[in-house]
Amino acid sequence: MLKTGDEYRASLRDGRVVLASDGSRVSDVTTHPQFRDAVDTVAALYDMQHRPGTAEIATYQDEGTGKPASRAWQVPRTKDDLVARRELARLSTYHTFGVFGRPPDYGSFNALGLLSVADRIAPSSEEWARNIDAFIDWGRANNAMSADIVADVQSDRSVPTAQKPGRLRCVEERKDGLVLYGAKPCASGAVHSHVGTVVTLLTPGADPDANLFCYVPLNAPGLTMVAREPVIMPGTTDEHPLDVRGEEPDSLLVFDRVFVPSEHVFSFRNEEMLGLYHELGALALWHILARLSYKSEILAGAAQAIVEVLGTENIPQVRDAVSEISAYATGLRAHVLAAEDTAAYANGVLVPAERYVTAGRLHSVENYPRMLQLLREISGQGLISRFSERQFADGSVGEMLTEFLPGTGVSAEAKNRVFNFVWDLTCGANAMRVALFENVNATPPAAMRARIYASPYRRPWRDFVLDHLGVDISAAR
């Protein structure tokens, strides 16, 4: 049930088709230079399931089988389950420094979200509702990692949604399943996942054939993952402490008549499902917020490290910057805790309150660029006065680098290491890819604002104000 890192690597050698940006087909993602470091980083998380100290966080005793299983596939039934689940998010975030938005513990959330809206699915088909349970059991039994397949390909907006040539749709309905054709974009982590969970939640106006909820093994015949170009910088662990852990790959999934057996279908042509983004996605969005709250702790930790090695911590304006990053981290945590405290059951699944998740996410996304900017600001030239191990080893010049560039209480080499880390976190191409990810991976801020505006909880506040003023506008509404 619980894979080791090596078993995880072996499971990816399954005939999947990945088209790399240099035009080559990748025969083994676990050894390919663009993907292997990320595979190793994820493999280490699989190993943690077996290691004392982390196994308690990453696994739980499954009641159904009586065996230990990955907590990623545990259905949250109690507040303690949510807290334990968040601890797992902390583990993976600290391990990846938050630059992997789709760690293995994330991927089950679409399945759990489907379970939480099963009452909307069962009236159309009891079989589809049973398929959700079976998928969760399968994911747990196989310690599987799933990629989110949600967004639609970006193409000519003057063409109506229902006619877009690239939309993923069923082109043949067979007795035993559906045949899919089209594409899905930006599938983060798919290259090193086992399956993709397809949900049609960002496509208002989708035609019935494109209204699909199902899962697809990423080695399915006819499926090609077209990977984006690599963004990480080559270098040693000292030179690029974060980039050496690899980049989370994004890829366009091209479906060329991919067969999806009926047992993998959760919903098809059910119009009501198209409007359930926030209901179905609530757990995933909570996890995204929790991950960013832990990542912001790392940002605040980096800020403190910077000012201490530079000896700038007594400058009031520098302190203000560190405080702001620290307050950001605490603010995000507060939203996460409030969402858990007011969680409610949906079909037996305990789901954190969307109200705090959406408001927290808006705050997290809008302010993320500012946090990176504050880190850059307090770093000054440190971000470019960084030198390689070979330069430090270069005879007399290397010795002078060591002599001329020490930090406060630390050697030049140690200070260099701090800024190499901050570079990877805030400036490098992978940092920018991660910033793009944070900005839109689960809808851009505009969509969150629209959702908040549509929420009912302002109503009593508005009534209080109007009642106090004696203004009655009910007739006009």
Ligand X SMILES: Cc1cc2nc3c(=O)[nH]c(=O)nc-3n(C[C@H](O)[C@H](O)[C@H](O)COP(=O)(O)OP(=O)(O)OC[C@H]3O[C@@H](n4cnc5c(N)ncnc54)[C@H](O)[C@@H]3O)c2cc1C
Q: In this chain, which of 162, 202, 353, 452 binds ligand X, going by CB under 6 A?
A: 202
* Nearer Cβ to ligand X (148/209): 148
The CA angle 200-205-211, to the nearest 5 degrees, is 35
**How deeply is 353 buried, as exposed, middle or buried, from its count of CB atoms within 10 A (0-12, 13-18, 19+)?**
middle
Q: Which stretch binds ligand X (CB under 6 A): 44-52, 60-68, 262-270, 442-450?
A: 442-450
Place of tokens 């907590």: 71
List the interface residues with ligand X, window 248-277 (CB under 6 A). Answer: 250
Q: Interface with ligand X includes 105 (CB under 6 A)?
A: no
Least distance from ligand X to the Cβ atom of residue 108, Å: 14
Regarding 437 and contact with ligand X (CB under 6 A), the answer is yes
157-186 residues in contact with ligand X (CB under 6 A) are 186
Instruction: Please tell me the number of Cα atoms within 13 Å of 289 on its side-chain side.
Output: 34
Which span (90-98, 214-222, 279-287, 437-445) binds ligand X, by CB under 6 A?
437-445
- Between CA 404 and CA 248 the distance in angstroms is 37
Number of residues that bind ligand X (CB under 6 A): 19
Looking at the Cβ atoms of 33 and 204, the one nearer to ligand X is: 204
Assess 187 for contact with ligand X (CB under 6 A): yes
Report yes or no: 144 and 49 within 8 Å, Cβ to Cβ: no
- Name the minimum Å distance from CB 229 to ligand X: 12
Return the percent helix, strand and coil in the chain, to nearest 5: 55, 15, 35
Q: Which of 10, 446, 465, 466 binds ligand X (CB under 6 A)?
A: 446
Write out the binding residues for ligand X, residues 44-103 only, by CB under 6 A: 102
Question: Considering the rule CB under 6 A, would residue 431 count as an interface residue with ligand X?
Answer: no
Q: Which is nearer to ligand X, 223 or 343 (CB)?
A: 223
Q: Can you spell out the DSSP letters for 284-320?
A: HHHHHHHHHHHHHHHHHHHHHHHHHHHT-TTSHHHHH
As given in the structure block, the two tokens for residue 398 are: 């290397």
Q: Do 119 and 348 contact (CB within 8 A), yes or no?
A: no
Among 33, 275, 369, 444, binds ligand X (CB under 6 A): 444
143-156 burial: b if 16+ Cβ within 10 Å, else e:
bbbbbbbbbbbeee
Nearest residue (CB) to ligand X, 260 versus 318: 260
Instruction: Specify the residue, 400 or 436, whose C-beta has the smaller distance to ligand X.
Output: 436
The backbone torsions φ and ψ at residue 244, rounded to the nearest 5 degrees and listed phi first, read -65, -15
Q: For ligand X, which is the closer residue by CB, 384 or 446?
A: 446
CB 392, min distance to ligand X, A: 34
Applying CB under 6 A, which part among 235-243, 311-319, 385-393, 436-444 lies near ligand X?
A: 436-444
CB 336 within 8 A of CB 286: yes
DSSP type of residue 263: G
* CB of 202 or CB of 405, closer to ligand X: 202
The H or E element containing residue 227 is: strand 223-227
Binding mask 112-151 for ligand X (x = CB under 6 A): ------------------------------------xxxx
**Residues whose CB is less than 8 angstroms from the CB of residue 19 and which lie 6 or more positions away in sequence, other chains included:** 25, 26, 224, 225, 226, 227
Residues that bind ligand X (CB under 6 A): 102, 148-151, 154, 186-188, 202, 250, 433, 436-437, 440-441, 443-444, 446
